[in-house]
């Protein structure tokens, strides 16, 4: 991408709110791949003139100055072994320079979030002539407007930048889903955590945001990765990291790779099981690392431990009975289901889940005791009824009734039929 296209790309990614000139310099300095031009005064003037000459861009004056964007890297504190983000400090909540204000059902087809959409003033004709030349220099524009001056890309350019060249340009998104996509795009390579979106940015229920996100996943506009953060309390918060396709990076921890390795070893063996000693020898790792890998796989229900009589494994090996006459048993690993790299599915929501230091998961829905005199379908119906207008996901029904995914899915599917 040439430098002028890169500049327009940064403007488009900032969304309907637009970008101030000082924030544009910050974005260009942080751009990946690296912006090749040195941002000295001469280059900045050339960039200003390229913005003026681009008819897909407009210039607006805000009613008040906007603070510069503050960039952070969520991945610099990620433990490479476990893949958990462990922040070195826990700063107070920073001010959001782009507060969410969804533009609903605009007659001109404008979509996005902009807090001063009605209050800002179009000053394009004051900075651009009809021949697409600059009426004012960059220095004059900053003296006159300061941080009230923002550059905004057209609806078509913003949408195409977000969905990419491979997606359908005629695709229609509702206003809520578009704003989620816009927010994720503004995050660039950092993306957005779904827990931050519903808790801080959109200030909405996690279930509602799930449906706002669902159409983006269905149309292949965003990718999802599980993301674990160590909270100040020491608990682990599981969330979903959303990224535009163009910014997707497949990040895998050391244990993630080792889990796949163990799965592949077991999958190739008859009966898909092996002795613990055999697997450890093939991994060639220390005892502590092996133990943690096996624990992770067991908690993910990928493997199970079992003890098999030695005579069944190798009748010719040593004594097969103890001095007390009992059979010698060998500890083995059995593959329950193969490791999958597909990551997070659209039905998986970790935002409401936290773990303590022992790894125990705390769900958003407390489990209920099973009433044996009442059928499970009626119990599931009353759980849904008790949740009122907010409703409950099928995973919540499964957790509260202490049943598996398949059972909770069937209970959810049968509810409309029961209502009839």
- Label residue 171 left, alpha or beta by phi (over 0 means left) and psi (-120 to 50 means alpha): beta
**Strand 121-122 versus strand 57-61 pairing type:** antiparallel
Share of the chain above pLDDT 90, in %: 42
User: What would the mean pLDDT of 354-366 be, rounded to a whole number?
Assistant: 44
Q: What is the pLDDT of residue 216?
A: 92
**For all residues of the chain together, what is the average pLDDT?**
84
Nearest residue to 12 via CA among 144, 165, 158, 114: 158
Higher pLDDT, 63 or 329: 63
Structure-derived torsion over alpha carbons of residues 142, 147, 149, 153, reported in degrees to the nearest 10: 120
pLDDT of residue 346 exceeding 80: no
How many distinct helices (H) and strands (E) make up the chain? 16, 13
Domains of the chain (ranges, CATH numbers): 1-62+120-163 (no CATH), 74-104+168-251+349-358 (1.10.10), 254-299+303-335 (1.10.10), 365-419 (no CATH)
Residue 95 burial class via C-beta count within 10 angstroms: exposed 0-12, middle 13-18, buried 19 and up: exposed
Q: What are phi and psi of 122, to 5 degrees?
A: -75, 115
Neighbouring C-alpha atoms within 13 Å toward the C-beta of 258: 23
pLDDT digits (tens, 9 = 90+) for 128-142: 999 999 999 999 999
Cα separation, 71 vs 88, whole angstroms = 16
Asked whether 318 and 309 are in contact (CB, 8 A), the reply is: no
Asked whether 16 and 109 are in contact (CB, 8 A), the reply is: no
Sheet hosting strand 329-335, strand order edge to edge: 273-275, 329-335, 303-309
Q: What are phi and psi of 225, to 5 degrees?
A: -135, 145
pLDDT digits (tens, 9 = 90+) for 57-114: 999 999 999 999 999 888 888 887 777 888 877 666 677 899 999 999 999 999 999 9
pLDDT digits (tens, 9 = 90+) for 9-59: 999 999 999 999 999 999 999 999 999 899 999 999 999 999 999 999 999
- Dig out the tokens for 192 from the structure: 């957005």
What's the full length of the chain, in residues?
A: 420
pLDDT digits (tens, 9 = 90+) for 139-189: 999 999 999 999 999 999 999 999 998 899 899 999 999 999 999 999 999
pLDDT digits (tens, 9 = 90+) for 371-386: 555 677 788 888 888 8
């Amino acid at each position: 991408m040439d430098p002028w296209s890169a500049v327009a790309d940064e403007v488009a990614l900032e969304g309907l709110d637009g970008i101030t000139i000082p924030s544009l310099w910050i974005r260009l300095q942080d751009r990946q791949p690296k912006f090749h031009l040195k941002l000295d005064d001469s280059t900045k003037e050339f960039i200003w003139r390229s913005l003026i000459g681009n008819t897909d861009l407009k210039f607006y004056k805000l009613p008040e100055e906007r603070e510069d964007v503050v960039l952070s890297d969520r991945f610099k504190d990620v433990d490479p072994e476990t893949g958990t983000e462990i922040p070195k400090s826990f700063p107070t909540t920073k001010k959001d320079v782009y507060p969410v204000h969804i533009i609903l059902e605009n007659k001109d087809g404008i979509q996005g979030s902009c807090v001063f959409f009605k209050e800002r003033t179009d000053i394009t004709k004051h900075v651009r002539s009809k021949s697409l030349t600059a009426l004012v220099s960059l220095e004059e524009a900053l003296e006159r407007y300061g941080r009230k001056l923002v550059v905004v890309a057209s609806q078509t350019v913003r949408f195409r930048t977000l969905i990419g060249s491979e997606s359908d340009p005629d695709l229609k998104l509702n206003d809520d889903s578009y704003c989620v996509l816009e927010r994720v795009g503004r995050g660039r390579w950092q993306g957005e955590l779904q827990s931050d979106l519903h808790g801080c940015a959109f200030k909405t229920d996690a279930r509602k945001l799930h449906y706002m996100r669902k159409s983006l996943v269905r149309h292949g506009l965003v990718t999802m990765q599980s993301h674990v953060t160590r909270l100040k309390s020491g608990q682990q918060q599981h969330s979903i990291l959303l990224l535009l396709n163009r910014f997707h990076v497949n990040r895998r921890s050391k244990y993630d790779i080792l889990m796949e390795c163990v799965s592949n070893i077991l999958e190739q063996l008859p009966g898909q099981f092996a002795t613990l000693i055999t697997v450890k020898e093939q991994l060639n790792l220390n005892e502590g690392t092996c133990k943690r890998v096996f624990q992770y796989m067991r908690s993910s229900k990928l493997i199970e431990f079992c003890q098999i009589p030695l005579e069944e494994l190798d009748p010719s090996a040593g004594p097969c009975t103890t001095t007390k006459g009992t059979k010698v048993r060998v500890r083995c690993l059995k593959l329950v289901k193969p490791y999958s790299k597909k990551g997070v599915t659209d039905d998986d929501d970790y935002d409401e889940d936290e773990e303590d230091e022992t790894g125990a998961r705390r769900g958003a829905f407390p489990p209920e005791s099973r009433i044996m005199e009442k059928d499970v379908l009626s119990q599931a119906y009353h759980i849904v009824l008790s949740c009122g207008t907010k409703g409950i996901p099928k995973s919540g029904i499964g957790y509260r009734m202490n049943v598996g995914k398949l059972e909770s899915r069937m209970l959810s599917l049968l509810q409309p039929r029961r209502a009839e």
